[in-house]
Amino acid sequence: MMRPMNPVIRSFAPRLAALVVCVAIGVLSVPSPAQAERRELRFTGPQITRQLAPSFPLRRCLFGELACVRLTRPVVRMQANDPRIFVSVDVGFQPVPGQASQSGSARVAGQPAYDPQAGAFYLKRPQLLDFSMEGVPPDQARMVANVISGMLADEFFSEQPLWVLDESDPRQAMARLSLRSVTVQQGALVVTLGDDDEPLEDDPADEMPSPGQGSGSTPGSRSTPGSRSTPTPKSLPPSPSAPEGTPETSSEPVWL
């Protein structure tokens, strides 16, 4: 014959059962480390460099074939504790045809922005950080710096994406459908994926400059779908001077 349950125990049984159910649900809802890592896609500096390299060199002359500036060898770098993406280029300046070119370097930086319509990442509000060139008078150096700022910050990076998600790659196609945020972490561009019901952490497309406009474009301006086009790797048209304003690894994105 079964002994009746103690009244005290009987009174706590429903509460205990509810507690067990809550704990079980909580354990099941927490993603494992492997699941959490699969929600991230990382792009390294060398990978992005390979995407940009075919669009160089860039060249602009201010007066016909006089005062020509040529930009080559882009290198993309990201730093562990900095949210920006850095792009350095080699600079060549030839005052007049036939004269030896002066060599230097320049570096711009901006934060990553995602355009969901293009499925591409852009450099948002890039700024010229530094420029150096030996053997050039200060007034010419300022002119070259202004030209570089216009070529990169105001024109090239407003049209040219850092990376375009490849829809033929199932993993990158999934990223295009479920991307929730894009940041720079530990020296890499990190794309975080999420579920459809998760809100976007940030929608940088609202702040993307329209094609042909750079960091100085009017706030709120936005390009229409399909209006972006990759610039030719040869030269950029002349435009008025713009005002002046930091480590590396496979060509495939690294899934964790």
All domains of the chain in start order, with CATH: 44-165 (3.15.10.40)
Are 75 and 56 contacting, i.e. CB atoms less than 8 angstroms apart? Answer: no
- Per residue of the chain (256 residues), give pLDDT as tens: 556 656 655 665 566 555 544 444 444 444 444 444 558 899 999 999 999 999 999 999 998 999 999 999 999 999 999 999 999 999 999 999 999 999 999 999 999 999 999 999 999 999 999 999 999 999 999 999 999 999 998 899 999 999 999 989 888 888 888 888 999 999 999 999 876 444 444 444 444 444 444 444 333 444 433 444 433 334 444 444 444 443 444 445 544 4
Q: Provide DSSP, 77-103.
A: EE-TT-S-EEEEEEEEEESSTTSPPEE
Q: What is the CB neighbour count within 10 angstroms for residue 168?
A: 6
**Residues in a beta bridge with 26:** none
Are 106 and 130 contacting, i.e. CB atoms less than 8 angstroms apart? Answer: yes
